[in-house]
């Protein structure tokens, strides 16, 4: 893997914790997770909320300047996709959506003990290499 890529750590929570995290990410029910995030200067952002925010911003500012608008809007309107993305959270570090491996690896390592411990259902790390990321279906490309 090329060290020039940046990374992003993502987690999935169960339905109950996901709803709590969306409303109040510092809720005591999330304490083990909040403690790890605090050590890394990390915060949670629900992927569904981020997608919905992108769509709302595009509609307010003019969708022609938002190349992923149609795909994102179509995605969040599918009930199964919404159910998936309300449980998925992107972890921002020091306010950044993507960050160096030197920040991603320790964060991922400290989260690993919470995996399958009734806190985190799924843990993944993604890089910014376009070959490793989904591209919009042809019908949504300009």
Which range has the worst mean pLDDT, 18-22, 50-54, 127-131?
127-131
DSSP-derived pairing of the beta strands 122-127 and 7-12: antiparallel
**CA gyration radius, the chain:** 16
Kindly tell me if the per-residue pLDDT of 2 is higher than 60.
no
Tokens linked to 27: 């809720």
| Selected residue with higher pLDDT from 116 and 32 | 32
In a domain, 56, yes or no: yes
In a domain, 57, yes or no: yes
Kindly tell me if the per-residue pLDDT of 61 is higher than 60.
yes
In a domain, 2, yes or no: no
- pLDDT confidence of 133, banded at 50, 70, 90? confident
- CB of 72 within 8 A of CB of 54? yes
Kindly tell me if the per-residue pLDDT of 76 is higher than 80.
yes
DSSP-derived pairing of the beta strands 42-46 and 88-93: antiparallel
In a domain, 48, yes or no: yes
pLDDT at 1: 47
In a domain, 1, yes or no: no
Q: Residue 37: give the domain boundaries.
A: 7-140
Model's pTM, two decimal places? 0.91
The number of folded domains in the chain is: 1
In a domain, 116, yes or no: yes
In a domain, 61, yes or no: yes
As a whole number of Å, the end-to-end CA separation of the chain is 30
Q: What is the mean pLDDT of residues 66-95?
A: 96
In a domain, 76, yes or no: yes
């Amino acid at each position: 893997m090329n060290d020039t890529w940046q990374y992003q750590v993502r987690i999935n929570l169960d339905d109950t914790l996901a709803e709590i995290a969306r409303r109040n990410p510092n809720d005591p029910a999330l304490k083990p997770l909040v403690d790890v995030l605090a050590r890394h200067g990390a915060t949670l952002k629900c992927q569904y909320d981020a997608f919905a925010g992108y769509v709302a911003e595009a509609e307010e500012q003019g969708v022609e300047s938002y190349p992923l608008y149609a795909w994102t809007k179509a995605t969040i309107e599918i009930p199964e996709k919404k159910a998936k993305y309300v449980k998925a959270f992107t972890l921002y570090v020091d306010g950044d959506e993507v960050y160096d491996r030197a920040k991603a690896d320790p964060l991922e390592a400290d989260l690993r003990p919470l995996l399958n411990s009734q806190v985190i259902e799924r843990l993944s790390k993604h890089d910014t290499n376009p070959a490793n990321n989904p591209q919009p279906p042809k019908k949504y490309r300009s």
